[in-house]
Chains A and B, each alone.
Chain A
């Protein structure tokens, strides 16, 4: 079944980072601690990318998410200091939403586990990825017949819209 080698070991360590960090984010009361947990979690995801032979994505993950976004969050937390200790707000629907959330979690877990470890295990033996995705591959995928031209262009429009929005909302009128 599972071979115990360096990769498997690394996978479990990274998985621990991702899940532990994620749990930390939602359980801590302190926003700064939450940010640190988030960085841990994002670092684990970067590790996954390395295991999936996508080194470029791993580097981008570290640069963009840990380098830029996490730092941005830290700044935001510093500038809005009054929010660092929040009271819990629970509304009347919490029982129902807990049930729905747990059900969804169980269903998703089953869905993901079954194809790998289920009776027919059709996906278990397959290699994770056959190619090492380099920057060149990625660049080509965005313009080549690998069909990502249109999403790439539409994403640029999307970012324009988001940028306009940020300015419109943040700018004080005169």
Chain B
């Protein structure tokens, strides 16, 4: 279990360094930021690996992993996450519609209004397609 932590950290560090090397050929703040954004968690994970592999700390890591595994599979928490996602989707959809409608009323740049309305349409279509495939599967 703990070896996965080391493997993941090496992969993240390798990808982060690869992106930073790529930034040398394509200098851009976004690329450099992405490189460090991937490298930093890899370094943190590697530090965690060396901390938790000692016999004194290994039981603590295994307890954390057990708790994490239970929290991921626990049916009430799965239900709460799904319900939270549903609420977030509804809020996002209504907000985008309102922004598009209010923007057009106050004569905001039409491209902004169109973007908001297209995003709302996209969110709606994603939800409809997800519902379709889930209802066929279940």
| A, B from the same assembly | no
- Give A residues with C-beta under 8 Å from B: none
